Structures are given as C-alpha cells and as structure tokens.
Amino acid sequence: MIAEAAARIFADLADPQTINRARNGAWKAPLWRALSEAGLPLAWVPENLGGSGAGIAAGFAILGAAGRFALAVPLAETLAAAWLLAGAGIEAPATPMTVAPARPRDRIVFNAAGRLSGRATGVPFAQEAEHIAVLADTGKQLTIALVAAKDCRLGEAQNLAGDAANIVTLERVKPLRSAPAPHGFDRAALPLMGAAIRSVEIAGALEAILSLSVSYANERVAFERRIGKFQAVQQNLARLAGETAAALAVSSSAADTIAQPNSSEEAVFLEAASAKIRTGEAATEGAAIAHQVFGAIGFTQEHVLHRFTLRMLSWRDDFGNESYWAAELGKRVAERGADEFWPLVASR
C-alpha cells in the first residue's frame, strides 16, 4: 500500500515528461511536501523517533517506485540518512537530508573535542539538503552525527544527470546531535545499505526504459514497418528485458535480505555487493540498448529517455561502483579459501 501511495504521488507531481519540460525547480517543493505528509522520507524511522515506522521492506518498495520515475529529489538520501540516525537513537528532522560519506574510501573523523573534520566527495543532493547524517571515525569506534548543511563547506559539482553531487568539507564542525554507532555496526554497513538502495533504484529505472523502448518500437515506422518487427530490434529488446529481469532479481534479493532482522553480516555483504555489481552492469547495457532503439531522438534534451539513463549511470558510482564491490567480493571469497567457494555461492 505504501508503494502504491508513493507511485500515485510521483505520477501526480513528478511525471518525468512534465518535469523534463520544466524550466525551473518549482515542482520540487509541492512534491516534497506531499512526500513528507505521507511519511515516506522517514519510512525507516520508528514511531518513537518521529518516523512512520513503515519498515525496511516498505522503504525499498518506495525506492523502486522512485527509480521508475527517475526521481530527482533527495528521497533516497533522506531515507538513508534517517536510517543511519535511527540506528544510533537520534531523532531525524523532517527536512531533506543526505548522508556522508557516499564513497567507501572517504573518511570523516570525530575528535575528542566533539568536532567533525574530513572531506566527502560525490555526496548526493548536499546543496539541497538542510541536514547531513554523518558516519565518523573516532579511532576506537564509530560515531553517528547529525550536522547542519550550512555548517559545512560545499563544493559545486554535479553527476551525469545534472543533479547535485557535492564535495562536502567539514572543518571542526560541531554536530547538532551525536551518538555511538550501535553494536555490530561497522564501516561497511553504510556503503552496503547505499549499494542496496542504488541497486533498487537502478532496477526501477530499467523497468521504465524497457516499457518506453517497447512502446516506441511498436509505434515507430521505418521502411513501411514498425521497427519492433525487425529481428535486430527484437533481439535488443529481449536483451534489455533480460538485463531488467536480472537487476530486479538481484536487487530484490538484497532488499529482502536486509529487511530480515536475522540476516547475518556476511549474507548482507554478499547480497548487497552482488546487487551493486550486477545492476551497475545492467545500467550500462540497458542504457546503450535503449538509446539504440530510440536512435538520435533519445539523445535530445527534449526527450525523456536521458532522465533515466543518465541517472542510472550516475547511481553506479554512489556508495562504491561495481569495480570496487567486485574487488571487495573477491577479497571475501579468497579469504574463505577454495573449499568454501561453492558452499558460499550455493547458500545464496
């Protein structure tokens, strides 16, 4: 039900074609207001901390719908930030948020004086967020903190889709609130959750471009035939359907694993890392196929296709790209030894 509510809001206020024709960002305020009133940005926050308490599975369903609309507001980032804060028992503000660091190799330090210092690159929508949830290192343990975005120095940067992806520099920033990370929460937990989030969004976007491509192929006429009748186009559409199905399967499996409270750390790692790798590959292949189907028209600014393909390609880099996770997955498999390889694969 919550996913259906999200889809209705997106259809009414975030139609990709309508937004693509918009000359400014005036559409964002009413959309965010509707999302907030429905409790969607705080779906991963329990009610006692001010959220809607919808649960992990419902939040991922919202993200799948967001991907199908190529949503260009920080809904996914606010969900992730609120999830991070809730893990430390920190109440999340009802404002647009983002989370840092967004790249696995970036580090932010929380010193003995209670100040945050460090640099995080590619932080999505940082300049549009009022608050940033930060995962910081104290040297002995991890700390989760809430900071005001205005207290940080933001570098101007954009991703491929033109959305803000800022460099966030913290210079002895005093957090609004902070608390130790919960027991068992390690440095990989945030990038793994982010990887699963982006995987679900990529799968949703692939669903949308598959639908767009099939519809276009059945309408566009060339050489007195609909192009969907040509074998080469049919083969490309079949490949796109295969990539979409693979992305949906692996991202859904990762989301389901994270949603299960008894899932082991290893299971979450294997599922989220594999999902990010496979959906990243699917985004690359899917974008190329869709643009082949549409031809030159798909590359124009006026056409809606780029809203999906450029975001998919941008999401590949957030929270670790497929090369990073492939290397991490390879390390994990190598550490277990050859005898454990097949049992590891078969267990999933």
Tens-digit pLDDT profile for residues 247-278: 999 999 999 999 999 999 999 999 999 999 99
Q: What is the pLDDT averaged over residues 59-70?
A: 97
Q: What is the pLDDT averaged over residues 89-112?
A: 96
Query: Could you tell me the CA-to-CA distances from 156 to 17, 65, 198, 301 in Å, in that order?
Result: 27, 29, 22, 22
160 neighbors 313 (Cβ within 8 angstroms): yes
**Which range is least confidently modeled, 183-187, 237-241, 311-315?**
183-187
SS3 state of residue 188: coil
Task: Work out the percent of the chain whose per-residue pLDDT is above 70.
Answer: 100
Alpha-helical regions (H) of the chain: 2-13, 16-21, 28-37, 56-68, 75-87, 189-219, 231-259, 265-294, 305-315, 322-336, 341-346
- At residue 301, does pLDDT exceed 90? no
Q: Which CATH class is domain 2-180?
A: mainly beta
| Token digits of residue 324 | 């990073």
Nearest alpha-carbon partner for 245 in 203, 305, 285: 203
pLDDT of 2 = 83
Q: Does domain 189-346 have CATH number 1.20.140.10?
A: yes
Q: How far is residue 252's CA from residue 228's CA, in Å, rounded to a whole number?
A: 30
What letter would DSSP give residue 304? T
167-219 per-position pLDDT tens digit: 999 999 999 999 999 998 999 999 999 999 999 999 999 999 999 999 999 99
pLDDT of 27 = 95
Q: What single-letter amino acid sits at 49?
A: L
91 neighbors 50 (Cβ within 8 angstroms): yes
Q: Could you give the residue range(s) of every CATH 1.20.140.10 domain in the chain?
A: 189-346
Each residue of 291-307: b (16+ CB within 10 Å) or e? bebbeeebeeeeebbbb
Q: What is the pLDDT averaged over residues 44-67?
A: 95
Q: How far is residue 227's CA from residue 15's CA, in Å, rounded to a whole number?
A: 27
Q: Is the dihedral of CA 145, 149, 152, 154 positive or negative?
A: positive
Q: What is the pLDDT averaged over residues 78-98?
A: 97
pLDDT of 79 = 98
Cα angle vertex 266, ends 261, 267, to 5°?
55
SS3 state of residue 156: coil
Confidence band for 341, pLDDT divided at 50, 70 and 90: confident
Q: Could you give the residue range(s) of every CATH 2.40.110.10 domain in the chain?
A: 2-180
Confidence band for 231, pLDDT divided at 50, 70 and 90: very high
pTM surpassing 0.85?
A: yes
